[in-house]
Amino acid sequence: MKKKDVIFTIGLCILMGVLWIVGEIVMGLWIPVVGKIHILWLIIIVVVTLAVSVWHSMIEDESDLRDPRREKYLRKTEKHRNKNGKR
């Protein structure tokens, strides 16, 4: 797991935790709900967090698809081709 993935996951968990707490405060102070809604709210937050995390992990990062050695070779050959006036 890369550093940026860890940072994303931690940030996502913090964001969803804050969202859950705000929802609980709103339901506790202004919106009268039955007890089952609090459990449903927790389940929704957990499911959304897991879905976003899995979706993010399935996105292919373009930097993973590129070979650094191949890119270095292409840069060198491009310079050489430009130097000789060929395209």
Query: In this predicted model, what pLDDT tens digit does every residue of 18-57 receive, in sequence order?
Result: 999 999 998 888 888 888 998 999 999 999 999 998 888 8
pLDDT > 90: percent of the chain: 33
Task: Indicate the length of the chain as a whole number.
Answer: 87
**Helical pair 3-29 and 35-58, crossing angle rounded to 10 deg:** 160
Tokens in use for 24? 């609980």
pTM of this prediction? 0.64
pLDDT > 70: percent of the chain: 89
Helices (H), the chain: 3-29, 35-58, 62-65, 68-83
* Per-residue model confidence (pLDDT) at position 80: 76
Quote the mean pLDDT of the chain.
84
The rounded distance, in Å, linking the Cα atoms of 38 and 4 is: 32
